[in-house]
Amino acid sequence: MAILVFVEIEDKSVKTSSIEALCYGVSVAGQTGQEVQVVTYGEIDTESLAQLGAYGAAKVLHCQSTQLNENATVQGVSTLIANAFKEVQANTLVMARSSMVDALASRVGIKVGASVVTNVVSLPDTANGFTVKRSIFTGKAFADVQLPEGNRVITIKKNTVPVEKGEGSAEVVDLNTDFASDDFAVSKLSEEKAEGEVLLPEADIVVSGGRGLKGPENWGMVEELAKLLGAATACSKPVSDMEWRPHHEHVGQTGIKISPNLYIAIGISGAIQHLAGVNSSKVIVVVNKDAEAPFFKAADYGIVGDAFDVVPKLIEAFKAQ
């Protein structure tokens, strides 16, 4: 039996979140004594895939289907993963949460007859079966879930395990798979990708702004601070609704849910809908001139002050570093 990890490719590179999923799979393998293999598709050079061996992958199964590359439907990708799962005789599939993976998990689970658990935030307890902790109620609580014997599909949240790189090179092999006739019944007509030097789902640091910035013309200091920190920019829902910022930057219950190492909220009151999207952040820093702002209750560090005074000073301090 093997542990299979699905790795997503974006812009001819392995997504950072997928490397974390690989490290999770390797950690589980350390408990169960299994080998870890990777399945992926898309345009990427063989050398980059071989480097996954430094994170613990023994073999990488790479599908170079032109049909899949041009029209990566959820149905087609789920067939690929399920076929690879059966080929390597895996009993566990690990994936990092993403918009694609959220749609894949249940489909793959049905195809391979597996139990499915999502939003996992810790390594399993294998002392008495196989129990994992998952985030529920938009991060407000946790549930311990014991998975039955047999196949299992696990999707993990960002920052669940540390990424550890060692030495080694994985064997990369071509994977040819048979797709079903309806795997490509849906056609992708267009695609709009979020732009930015650092994208929100992959960001370790996020700098976010709210209505306290008073208008889109004042976002320059947020972008400057983000650039200094190598961070992604984000915003609250009212800001995106007023079209001060693009909708793909909206974080919250109805927007993108993120789990960065550091989240800096500037001029955001901290409504419960916003907190639902960011409360998995490891460290939250809040800048707000209202000392009674709800966000301070969730913050690890808080600065009571006007953003137009505080943020320029933060920029100066980071430049001095």
Tally Cβ neighbours within 10 Å of residue 122. Answer: 17
Q: Is 268 assigned a ligand-binding role in the annotation?
A: yes
Q: Is 271 assigned a ligand-binding role in the annotation?
A: yes
Q: Is 274 assigned a ligand-binding role in the annotation?
A: yes
Reading phi first (left if > 0) and then psi (alpha if -120 to 50, else beta), residue 293 is in: beta
Q: DSSP labels for 19-37?
A: HHHHHHHHHHHHHHT-EEE
Q: Is 9 assigned a ligand-binding role in the annotation?
A: no
Q: Is 247 assigned a ligand-binding role in the annotation?
A: no
**Angle 306-312-316 from CA coordinates, rounded to 5°:** 145
Reading phi first (left if > 0) and then psi (alpha if -120 to 50, else beta), residue 206 is in: beta
Q: Is 261 assigned a ligand-binding role in the annotation?
A: no
Q: Is 56 assigned a ligand-binding role in the annotation?
A: no
Q: Which helix (H) or strand (E) holds 91?
A: strand 90-96
Nearest of 202, 174, 175, 167 to residue 57 by alpha carbon: 167
Longest dimension (CA), the chain: 61
Distance between CA atoms of residues 57 and 12, nearest Å: 19
Which residues, in sequence order, are CB contacts of 211 under 8 Å at separation 6+?
236, 238, 239, 267, 268, 269
Strand-pair category, 9-10 with 13-14: antiparallel
Q: Is 272 assigned a ligand-binding role in the annotation?
A: yes
Q: Taking a C-beta distance cutoff of 8 angstroms, is the pair 307, 212 a contact?
A: yes
Annotated binding site for FAD: 211, 267-274, 288
Annotated binding site: 211, 267-274, 288
